[in-house]
Structure 1
Amino acid sequence: MKASVIISTYNAEAWLEKVLFGFNVQTEKDFEIIIADDGSGPKTKVLIDQMKSMISNPIIHVWHEDNGFQKTQILNKAILSANSDYLIFTDGDCIPRNDFIAVHLDYREKGYFLSGGYFKLPMSVSKVITQEDITLQRCFDVKWLIQHGLQKSYKNIKISSSKFKSKILNAITPTNASWNGHNASGWKNDLIAVNGFNEEMQYGGEDRELGERLFNMKLKSKQIRYSAICIHLDHSRGYVNEEALKKNKTIRKFTKMNKIVRSPNGIDSNA
């Protein structure tokens, strides 16, 4: 199996269903799906069980009880559940374009992790996207998106560029090639070497902190934000916590200053 796709989710069945439809039409078929479920209620399990009969790829549902925002913990459990040596991370609100997996696999290289981005949609557009729109890839057509409420903007080039232009934009973008939880990939052995995600951290930079430890381990990163495309469905963020954000900032500062590689509170607590 070429890749394991790890999708984080929490009580967002309508969005997760659309994301899974996106992975069902990938040009690259040789991958498994691992849903890292941070304590969703029974409706999410019902959806996943239904989707298992509709999607050709194997689906593994990794779940733990709801204890607030504990995404780092469930992601570490998902890493341990992966059957591939290459892991692609995204969120249950990001629909992948049909070449998403193929791009990640094409750019993968030992000694590197890959850094992608997403294209944000307003709620009005997020709601109207159907399974057919995903299957036919209409939801990645800028003209179609504008017809359904997307504002015209120079930012739309992110999903409208040709393969050649995408490579140029990847090279010249000022955006750092950091580890972004909604669109990033790396080798399982590298993630285990840094002890996975820091389970002390809640929402806010917890993915970037992992990337900073990968850099401390002398890995490099590749920018693929204009090549590996996914569209982000809008939603509220009730889990944002100012105290947790401050704590996360302190942890990241310590990681950078002290060149920390292995998290003291990481994946080994789940082994």
Structure 2
Amino acid sequence: MKLSVIITTYNAEEWLHKVLVGYSVQTTTDFEIVIADDGSTPKVKEVLALFSAKFKYPIIHVWQEDLGFRKSEILNKAILKTNADYLLFTDGDCIPRKDFVAVHLKHKEEGSFLSGGYFKLPMNLSKAITDDDIIKQNCFDVLWLKKQGLSLSFKASKLTHNKYFAAFMNWLTPTKRTFNGHNTSCFKSDIIAVNGFNEDMQYGGLDREVGERLFNNGLISKQIRYAAVCVHLDHARGYFSQEGWDKNLAIRAYNKKHHIIKIKNGIEKLA
């Protein structure tokens, strides 16, 4: 297979269902789904059972006990279960446009990782989107979203279908080409070379920290913010902690100052 899609989730079955509908209608089918589950209830298995026959390859469900926010650890476990040499990282609240996987495959390049973004939806619209809206791609249509009451701004340009405009905006945007956990991809060998995700980190920048170590190891990043399109469903963030955020910033500052490539508490101890 060409690619493994790693989707993180935690007790958000309604959102995960919509996300999997999005992956079930991709223009390419040569990929597998790996669910990185940070301690959800058995309801997630019920959702996965509904989609078991909708993909070319079996869905892989990687679960760990709920002991608090341990996203880095479950991502490392999921990486070890993948069967492709190219990995796409996203979240269980990001519905992909039908060309999402194809765009990542088109732009992948040795010595680099791909940096994408998302278009955020409000809660009322997040709940209103139906399976049919995803299958028909309504939720990626600016005019349809406007009819549903969404107040549009320049950010809606991220939903463009014009590949030339997308290429121009990817070149023009001042947004940094960071490793974004909701929409990024890289070769498995590259992320293993930096020892995966840092399990010392809690919520807040843990994905960007990986990208910073990839930079330290000689990789560059390519901007696909306007080409690899996904819409982000709204949700609360009850796991935020200022103490944890400050700790993460300190780790990133240390890594930058000392040009750290491999952290100690990463994927290798799981192998």
Q: Distance in 1 between matches of 2:193 and 2:55?
A: 32
Would the alpha carbon gap of residues 253 and 3 (structure 1) be closer, same or farther in structure 2, given more than 3 Å must change?
A: same
Q: Distance in 2 between matches of 1:226 and 1:194?
A: 28
The alpha carbon displacement at 1:74 in A equals 0.2
Would the alpha carbon gap of residues 4 and 95 (structure 1) be closer, same or farther in structure 2, given more than 3 Å must change?
A: same
Contact 1:202 1:244 in 2 (8 A): yes
- SS in structure 1 opposite 2:7? strand
Residues 48-83 of structure 1 show CA distances to partners (whole Å, capped at 9, x for unaligned) of 122213444421000000010000000000100010
Residue type of the alignment partner of 1:179: F
Residue type of the alignment partner of 1:223: Q
Q: Distance in 2 between matches of 1:54 and 1:223?
A: 30
Q: Which residue of 2 aligns with 1:186?
A: 186
Q: Which residue of 2 aligns with 1:48?
A: 48
What is the aligned length? 271
Q: Distance in 2 between matches of 1:167 and 1:81?
A: 34
Structure 2 residue 208 is the aligned partner of structure 1 residue 246:
no
Structure 2 residue 151 is the aligned partner of structure 1 residue 166:
no
- SS in structure 2 opposite 1:53? coil
Q: Distance in 1 between matches of 2:166 and 2:148?
A: 25
Runs of 4+ in 1 over 2 A off after TM superposition: 53-58
Q: Which residue of 2 aligns with 1:32?
A: 32
The alpha carbon displacement at 1:152 in A equals 2.0
Mapping for residues 113-262 of structure 1, pairs under 5 Å:
113-262=113-262
Q: Which residue of 2 aligns with 1:70?
A: 70
Contact 1:4 1:88 in 2 (8 A): yes
Contact 1:114 1:186 in 2 (8 A): yes
Residue type of the alignment partner of 1:37: D
Q: Which residue of 1 aligns with 2:97?
A: 97
Contact 1:11 1:44 in 2 (8 A): yes
Runs of 5+ unmatched residues, structure 1: none
Runs of 5+ unmatched residues, structure 2: none
The alpha carbon displacement at 1:172 in A equals 0.8
Q: Distance in 1 between matches of 2:108 and 2:152?
A: 33
Contact 2:146 2:152 in 1 (8 A): yes
With normalisation by structure 1, the TM-score equals 0.98
Q: Distance in 2 between matches of 1:56 and 1:81?
A: 17
Q: Distance in 2 between matches of 1:255 and 1:188?
A: 21
The alpha carbon displacement at 1:160 in A equals 2.5
Residue type of the alignment partner of 2:250: T
Q: Which residue of 2 aligns with 1:109?
A: 109
Residues 180-224 of structure 1 show CA distances to partners (whole Å, capped at 9, x for unaligned) of 000000000001000000000010000000000000001000000
CA RMSD of superposed structures (Å): 0.9
With normalisation by structure 2, the TM-score equals 0.98
Q: Which residue of 1 aligns with 2:59?
A: 59
Q: Distance in 2 between matches of 1:231 and 1:248?
A: 27
Residue type of the alignment partner of 2:201: M
Residue type of the alignment partner of 1:167: A
